Structure 1
Amino acid sequence: MEVMSSFFDNRPRFSPETYARIVLSELGISSFPIDVRSIVEKRGIIYAESDFNGINFDGALRRQNGKALVVINSGISYPGRKNFTIAHELGHFEIKGHNEREYFCTYKDINVFKPEKIYEYEANQFAAEL
C-alpha cells in the first residue's frame, strides 16, 4: 500500500496544529478520544512495536521505497504516553518540511517542547493537537 502523504509534495506550509486538523478532517474524525494508531494505519503507514534492543528510543519513523513505518517502544506501558509518541511520529510524517528518511526520537525529544529543536518541537505541537 502506498502511503497517502508524500514527504516531497507541493502542499503549502502550515502550522503543525493545522496539519493535525487537516488529517482529522480528511479522515472524517470529529469526536474524541482519537485512536491515533488507526490514523497511522489509515494513512497507509505500517505500525509496529519493538524494544529497540535496549537502545534509548521511544519512537521512530522510517520512510523507504514509497512506504512508511512507525515503530514505538514496546516498553511504554502508559497508554497516554504511547498515544502521544505515535502522534509525534505521525507528525514527522505529515508536516511539510520533515523530509528526513528516518527520525529516531528519545523520551526527551518527545517530552520537551524546545523551539531550538524545531522538527521535534513541531512534531510535539502536532501530537498535542490530536
Structure 2
Amino acid sequence: MRNRHLIEAKAEGLLQELGIHAAPVPVDRVAHHLGARIHLRPFDSRDVSGMLFREDGKPPIIGVNALNGEKRQRFTIAHEIAHLVLHPGKPLILDRQVKVNFRDATSSTATDEEEMQANAFAAALLMPKFLVAERLHHHLERDAHVADVDIVKRIAADFDVSIQAMEYRLTNLGLLSPA
C-alpha cells in the first residue's frame, strides 16, 4: 500500500494533537474533535458496519451499526475517521448531492486502495505503534515466557480491540511473526 508511513504519521499526529498517550484510544473523542457526530443505529444488515455521511455546511455523521460488537464498532468509527481525514468521499444523490463512504464486507478485502488506507489508518489510530511497543514491552517484562497467543490477548484487552485486529497490527509492525 502506498503512503503507509504518511498514514501512520497522520494518525499519530492526531493523537498527539489531542494529548492521547494511553490505551484504549477514545475514538469518540477523536471523532468529536474533528467535528463529526456519531450515530449508533441498527442497520438492515451486518454486512455494512458503518458509513460516513458528509454534506456541505453540516457536521459529518459517522453511522455505526449497533448490531455489531463493541470492538468492531470502535474499529468502524476509526475507519470512518480515516475517510474523513484522508478521502473526499464519493457523491451520492438522494434528494440532494452528499458524499458517503461505506464500511462494508469489501472494506477488508484489500482490493480498494481507499479502503486499505482507511483500515491502515484505523489500526494506527486505535493501536499506535509507540503504545503497542510499550505495552508489549510491559507484558514481556512481567512474564518473559508468555506464549504469543496470550500476549496478543493481553495487549488486545489493553487497547479494547479484537484479538484478530491486534494480531494483524503486531504482525504488520514486525513485532510478531506471522502464524
The TM tier, using the shorter chain, reads 0.7 to 0.9
Matches within 5 A, 1:31-50: 31-50=22-41
Matches within 5 A, 1:41-80: 41-54=32-45, 56-66=47-57, 67-77=59-69, 79-80=70-71
User: Take 2:114 and 2:20, find their aligned partners in 1: how far apart are those partners?
Assistant: 25
User: Take 1:55 and 1:27, find their aligned partners in 2: how far apart are those partners?
Assistant: 32
> Of the candidates 76, 83, 94, which is equivalent to residue 85 of structure 1?
76
Matching of residue 19 in structure 1 with residue 10 in structure 2? yes
Deviation at 1:55, TM superposition (A): 7.2
Could you tell me which residue of structure 2 aligns to residue 99 of structure 1? Answer: 88
Consecutive unaligned residues in structure 2, runs of 5 or more: 90-98, 126-179
RMSD: 1.7
User: Take 1:37 and 1:107, find their aligned partners in 2: how far apart are those partners?
Assistant: 23
Could you tell me which residue of structure 2 aligns to residue 126 of structure 1? Answer: 121
User: Take 2:46 and 2:124, find their aligned partners in 1: how far apart are those partners?
Assistant: 28
Which structure exhibits the higher relative contact order, with contacts defined as CA atoms closer than 8 Å and separated by 6 or more residues?
A: 1
Deviation at 1:48, TM superposition (A): 0.3
Task: State the AA in 2 paired with 1:106.
Answer: D
Greater helix proportion? 2
Same amino acid, percent of matched pairs:
30
Q: TM-score, normalised by structure 2?
A: 0.57
User: Take 2:118 and 2:45, find their aligned partners in 1: how far apart are those partners?
Assistant: 24
Residues 82 and 122 of structure 2 are in contact (CA less than 8 Å); yes or no, is this contact kept in structure 1? yes
Please say which structure displays the higher CA radius of gyration: 2
> Of the candidates 95, 112, 130, which is equivalent to residue 117 of structure 1?
112
Q: TM-score, normalised by structure 1?
A: 0.77
> Of the candidates 12, 15, 30, which is equivalent to residue 21 of structure 2?
30
How many matched pairs? 111
User: Take 1:56 and 1:34, find their aligned partners in 2: how far apart are those partners?
Assistant: 25
Residues 39 and 64 of structure 2 are in contact (CA less than 8 Å); yes or no, is this contact kept in structure 1? yes
- SS of match in other structure, 1:23: helix
Deviation track 1:36-81 (CA, whole Å, cap 9, x = no partner) reads: 112111221011012223473100001112320100001012x221
Deviation at 1:20, TM superposition (A): 0.5
- SS of match in other structure, 1:49: strand
- SS of match in other structure, 1:53: coil
